[in-house]
């Protein structure tokens, strides 16, 4: 019982006090009780910490990590932060919020990330509510290599303003080197809470400790296994890669990605030095390492940056380049660049002398490449596996190579080392319920995370059915992990396997065709609570698979096209339709 509200003591008749003493003591205690009650009434009631909603939209987990960073700072400054994915927020809920920070990445060519699509659809609908009570800020993540840089963040920022919301601070658009800009924005967006606004400690939800290993400080790992999976007659070179986690302390889950820090090919670096008329030890203003090191480990010298294209165009005086740049036709420029690398653009005018300082200023930093992890840590303790397609092509008689894929293939044999770090992807996970069906669509190297998923379900002793759709060009040469997949099938772990090898018959057959052929059973698995996963090419395969899924649901659920869309959207809300596409 609260001390200020307890009853006055009662003195028994035989207490050793006179009547006057009893009266005096009783009066004293009554007065004290009254004073305490008045003090309590006059004291301000405890004020709850001010809420701050932090919403994120992410494809690979970076925006989520930054949202969690913002929440930690908010707690330390006296707020009660609430972190949620954008797609978890209904419009009527948004209309009740007062202070909102949005951290959102841009996916593909200016698209919303998967877990922000439904939010964006609702925000742009004619029924979206007015938001005059809302104060907001937007942190946008993107890559200036793409035409629609940070488009998702720009669109959300503009739409919130259109609905009457007020900015707490200006939007910041972050390029691939986002850390400093994001940290500064978060610090500005979350000032100290007003004195007295929060008197209770805000308890933080449990968050895994951040790894010391990241793209700025990768772990130097030893290669354990580096072998070709594809057959001798395959048009592709697909490799199984295994790294030793050693004493790194790094952990991961099936569904996560591994960041690999590549090194540019030595012969390409030499060709760049020759073209620039400089040697390895040349110094570049503003850089503390010599030019040779910059070109090897510091700068992106394969894919032409937008700055390089714009900067070179008036110098090289190539009519075709000037035409496509001048027209502003994105598709025409992409067609023109097809097969070319940055050195090809430098060579458009071989007699033109290049200024190394100017050229270096137009290049972007060399970035890590993220690969879907193809192992479960429960099946391969202390190791992490990848499934990598080495990209190679010829253009005008010169070999061209994918930066990271051929770095791994050609320069990191077993026993050699490379810098790596983990990239969590919390949205792409094996179902928590071990009894629900798991449907996986992963042609080519898209099978990588599903090898991990199957190993994880096996380690858990999961009883739910596991169904894989896999395909490529030719069964004889492109059926990667054939023996392992066969063992999964023989053991009963892989309940069902549907294959689609496109070029083994006159009519091309793809995974989406197999889905439609088995549409009745696929829909039944979804109705049983199944989770549907897609991994692989975003441009064509993922879109074709999505269209097939809508078609299957419309047919077997007896729904209209709009009804099928609503069904699929509900799968997305429930995190039962998730993608790892690139």
What was the pLDDT predicted at 487? 98
Token pair of 505 as six digits: 């018959």
CA distances from 408 to 122, 225, 411 (A): 43, 11, 6
Least confident interval from 46-55, 161-170, 259-268, 564-573: 46-55
Any domain includes 232: yes
| CATH code for the domain of 508 | 3.40.50.80
Between residues 29 and 211, which one has the greater pLDDT?
211
Q: Does the pLDDT value for residue 36 go beyond 90?
A: no
Between residues 181 and 45, which one has the greater pLDDT?
181
The answer to whether the CB of 152 falls within 8 A of the CB of 116 is yes
Determine the Cα–Cα distance for residues 305 and 258; give it in Å rounded to an integer.
24
Any domain includes 200: no
Determine the Cα–Cα distance for residues 129 and 1; give it in Å rounded to an integer.
46
342 lies in the same domain as 374:
no
Any domain includes 320: yes
372 lies in the same domain as 505:
no
250 lies in the same domain as 163:
no
Any domain includes 209: no
Q: What is the pLDDT of residues 225-243, one digit of tens each?
A: 999 999 999 999 999 999 9
Q: Does the pLDDT value for residue 38 go beyond 80?
A: no
181 lies in the same domain as 71:
yes
254 lies in the same domain as 298:
no
| CATH code for the domain of 225 | 2.40.30.10
Token pair of 432 as six digits: 């928590």
Q: Which of 103, 58, 54, 56 is nearest to 83 (CA)?
A: 54
- Taking residues 198-212, what's their average pLDDT? 64
CA distances from 554 to 441, 551, 564 (A): 19, 5, 5
468 lies in the same domain as 577:
yes
Domain range enclosing 226: 219-262+368-423
> Can you spell out the DSSP letters for 464-489?
S-EEEEEEES-HHHH-TTHHHHHHHH
- Taking residues 174-183, what's their average pLDDT? 94
| CATH code for the domain of 180 | 3.40.50.360
Q: What is the pLDDT of residues 273-327, one digit of tens each?
A: 999 999 999 999 889 999 999 999 999 999 999 999 999 999 999 999 999 999 8
| CATH code for the domain of 277 | 1.20.990.10
Determine the Cα–Cα distance for residues 435 and 459; give it in Å rounded to an integer.
14
Q: Does the pLDDT value for residue 31 go beyond 80?
A: no
Q: Does the pLDDT value for residue 22 go beyond 70?
A: no
What was the pLDDT predicted at 3? 39
For the chain, how many structural domains are there in total? Answer: 5
CA distances from 109 to 105, 143, 582 (A): 12, 10, 11
Q: Which of 109, 162, 114, 107 is nearest to 140 (CA)?
A: 107
- Taking residues 400-427, what's their average pLDDT? 97
335 lies in the same domain as 413:
no
223 lies in the same domain as 279:
no
What was the pLDDT predicted at 192? 85
250 lies in the same domain as 278:
no
Any domain includes 212: no
Q: Does the pLDDT value for residue 14 go beyond 50?
A: no
77 lies in the same domain as 226:
no
Which of 321, 340, 361 terminates a domain? The answer is: 361
- Taking residues 506-532, what's their average pLDDT? 98
What was the pLDDT predicted at 283? 94
- Taking residues 137-154, what's their average pLDDT? 94
Q: What is the pLDDT of residues 323-362, one digit of tens each?
A: 999 988 888 999 999 999 999 999 999 999 999 999 999 9
Q: How confident is the model at residue 424 (pLDDT cuts 50, 70, 90)?
A: very high
Any domain includes 34: yes
Any domain includes 208: no
Contacts of 496 (CB under 8 A, 6+ apart): 465, 466, 467, 468
Contacts of 152 (CB under 8 A, 6+ apart): 57, 104, 105, 106, 107, 110, 111, 112, 113, 116, 120, 140, 142
What was the pLDDT predicted at 324? 93
Q: How confident is the model at residue 440 (pLDDT cuts 50, 70, 90)?
A: very high
Q: Give the single-character DSSP code of 138.
A: E
Q: What is the pLDDT of residues 69-119, one digit of tens each?
A: 999 999 999 999 999 999 999 999 999 999 999 999 998 889 999 999 999
The answer to whether the CB of 492 falls within 8 A of the CB of 449 is no
120 lies in the same domain as 172:
yes
Burial of 391 (0-12, 13-18, 19+ CB in 10 A): middle
471 lies in the same domain as 567:
yes
What was the pLDDT predicted at 328? 82
Q: Calculate the average pLDDT of the chain.
A: 91
Which of 343, 361, 379 terminates a domain? The answer is: 361
Any domain includes 196: no
């Amino acid at each position: 019982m609260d001390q200020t509200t307890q009853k006055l003591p009662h003195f028994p008749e035989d207490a050793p006090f006179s009547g006057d003493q009893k009266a005096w003591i009783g009066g004293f205690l009554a007065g004290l009780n009254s004073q305490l009650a008045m003090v309590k009434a006059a004291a301000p009631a405890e004020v709850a910490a001010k809420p701050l909603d932090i919403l994120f939209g992410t494809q690979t987990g970076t925006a989520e990590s930054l949202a969690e960073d913002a929440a930690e700072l908010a707690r330390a400054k006296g707020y009660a932060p609430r972190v949620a994915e954008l797609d978890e927020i209904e419009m009527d809920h948004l209309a009740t919020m007062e202070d909102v920070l949005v951290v959102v990445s841009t996916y593909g060519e200016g698209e919303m990330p998967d877990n922000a699509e439904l939010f964006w659809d609702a925000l742009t609908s004619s029924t979206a509510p007015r938001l005059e009570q809302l104060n907001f800020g937007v942190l946008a993540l993107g890559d200036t290599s793409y035409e629609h840089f940070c488009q998702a963040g720009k669109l959300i920022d503009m739409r919130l303003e259109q609905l009457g919301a007020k900015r707490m601070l200006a939007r910041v658009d972050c390029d691939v080197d986002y850390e400093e800009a994001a940290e500064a924005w978060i610090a500005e967006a979350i000032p100290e809470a007003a004195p007295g606004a929060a008197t209770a400690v805000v308890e933080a939800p449990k968050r895994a400790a951040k790894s010391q290993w990241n793209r700025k400080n990768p772990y130097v790992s030893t290669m354990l296994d580096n072998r070709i999976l594809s057959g001798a007659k395959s048009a592709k070179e697909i490799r199984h890669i295994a790294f030793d986690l050693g004493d790194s302390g790094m952990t991961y889950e099936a569904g996560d990605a591994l960041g690999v820090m590549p090194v540019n090919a030595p012969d390409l670096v030499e060709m760049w030095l020759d073209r620039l008329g400089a040697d390895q030890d040349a110094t570049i203003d503003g850089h503390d390492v010599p030019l040779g090191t910059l070109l090897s480990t510091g700068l992106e010298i394969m894919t032409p940056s937008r700055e390089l294209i714009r900067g070179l165009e008036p110098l090289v005086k190539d009519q075709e380049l000037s035409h496509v740049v001048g027209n502003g036709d994105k598709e025409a420029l992409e067609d023109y660049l097809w097969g070319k690398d940055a050195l090809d653009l430098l060579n458009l005018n071989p007699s033109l002398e290049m200024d190394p300082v100017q050229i270096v200023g137009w290049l972007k930093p060399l970035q890590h490449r993220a690969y879907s992890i193809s192992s479960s840590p429960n099946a391969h303790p202390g190791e992490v596996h990848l499934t990598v397609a080495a990209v190679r092509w010829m253009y005008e008689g010169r070999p061209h190579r994918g930066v990271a894929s051929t770095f791994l293939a050609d320069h990191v044999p077993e026993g050699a080392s490379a810098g790596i770090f983990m990239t969590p992807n919390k949205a792409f996970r094996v179902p928590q319920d071990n009894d629900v069906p798991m449907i996986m669509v992963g042609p080519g190297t898209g099978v990588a995370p599903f090898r991990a998923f199957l190993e994880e379900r096996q380690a858990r002793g999961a009883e739910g059915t596991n169904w894989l759709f896999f395909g490529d060009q030719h069964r004889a040469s492109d059926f990667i992990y054939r023996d392992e997949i066969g063992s999964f099938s023989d053991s009963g772990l892989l309940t069902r396997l549907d294959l689609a090898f496109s070029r083994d018959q006159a009519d091309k057959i793809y995974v989406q065709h197999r889905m439609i052929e088995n549409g009745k059973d696929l829909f039944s698995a979804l109705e049983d609570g199944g989770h549907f996963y897609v991994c692989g090419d975003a441009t064509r395969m993922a879109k074709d698979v999505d269209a097939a899924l809508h078609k299957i649901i419309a047919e077997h659920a007896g729904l209209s096209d709009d009804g099928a869309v609503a069904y699929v959207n509900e799968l997305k809300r429930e995190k039962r339709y998730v993608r790892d596409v690139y």
